[in-house]
């Protein structure tokens, strides 16, 4: 099972990816993690990527695709994987298809979690973080009058800059601008399925599992 999962900040795609990892025993692949591991282990690709990072530049697509290729070669026996937030561009989507073809595999599904942007703004702007222990709270569950007190350790809660409404809206605008053409690319090849991300975690998970099980059944039909 090979899946890409898309979703704007705050939609809970990380939570859904973890549930799918647990259910299907597949890997959750973050290209950021692949990159950091390669740099830490000083692999040839990691050293190449580091030269771009040290210069303050983005790591080129061909290096990222090569990192994914290394992962596929090392984990060829695994039952599958979930890409979280990759590909981000049309060029990356094409390159990923070509890479998969070279391994004789294909992408099974692209799941896009859809949510009203103002709902994301409300959800994330109510998030508070403890300066002492790092515990994450939400204004909706904090006691009235104790909105700045950590329920775990009593430390001071604060709002991170990237959780401020104006910052969240900018992040959402960037997400839409980046992913719209990629989603259209997968829609044209009938690989994109949109899922309502406005509901509870279990309900969303049940829908995604239903989509994946239907795909598995079709693949088994001669």
User: Is residue 80 within 8 Å of 1, Cβ to Cβ?
Assistant: yes
Q: Of the residues 131, 160, 170, 199, which is catalytic?
A: 160
128 is catalytic: no
In order of 27, 39, 42, 60, 203, the CA distances from 64 in angstroms are 17, 12, 15, 7, 34
Contacts (Cβ under 8 Å, ≥6 apart) of 222: none
In order of 12, 42, 114, 192, the CA distances from 202 in angstroms are 12, 40, 16, 21
Specify the pairing of strand 2-6 against strand 109-114. parallel
The CB-based long-range contact list for 97-105 (8 Å cut-off, 24+ gap) reads 99/65, 99/68, 99/69, 99/72, 100/2, 102/69, 103/72, 103/76, 105/2, 105/72
73 is catalytic: no
Q: Of the residues 48, 122, 171, 183, which is catalytic?
A: 171
Alpha-carbon span 217 to 150, nearest angstrom: 48
Q: Of the residues 88, 122, 169, 183, which is catalytic?
A: 88
| Closest C-alpha to 68, from 26, 90, 38 | 38
What is the enclosing helix (H) or strand (E) of 107?
Answer: none
Nearest 5°: the CA angle 221, 68, 92 is 85
160 is catalytic: yes
Catalytic site positions: 13, 88, 127, 160, 171
């Amino acid at each position: 099972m090979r899946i890409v999962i898309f979703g704007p900040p705050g939609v809970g795609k990380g939570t859904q990816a973890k549930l799918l990892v647990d259910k299907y025993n597949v890997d959750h692949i973050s290209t950021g993690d692949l990159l950091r591991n390669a740099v830490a282990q000083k692999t040839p690709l990691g050293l190449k990527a580091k030269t771009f990072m040290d210069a303050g530049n983005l790591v080129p697509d061909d290096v990222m695709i090569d990192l994914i290729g290394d992962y596929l070669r090392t984990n060829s026996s695994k039952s599958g994987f979930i890409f979280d937030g990759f590909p981000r561009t049309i060029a990356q989507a094409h390159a990923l298809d070509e890479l998969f073809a070279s391994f004789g595999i294909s992408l099974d599904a692209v799941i896009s979690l859809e949510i009203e942007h103002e709902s994301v703004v409300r959800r994330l702007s109510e998030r508070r973080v403890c300066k002492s222990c790092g515990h994450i709270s939400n204004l909706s569950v904090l006691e009235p009058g104790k909105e700045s007190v950590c329920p775990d350790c009593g430390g001071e809660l604060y709002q991170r800059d990237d959780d401020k409404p104006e910052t969240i809206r900018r992040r959402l605008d960037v997400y839409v601008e980046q992913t719209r053409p990629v989603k259209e690319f997968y829609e044209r090849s009938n690989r994109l399925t949109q899922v309502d991300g406005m509901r509870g975690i279990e309900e969303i998970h049940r829908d995604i599992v239903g989509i994946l099980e239907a795909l598995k059944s079709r693949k088994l039909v001669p």
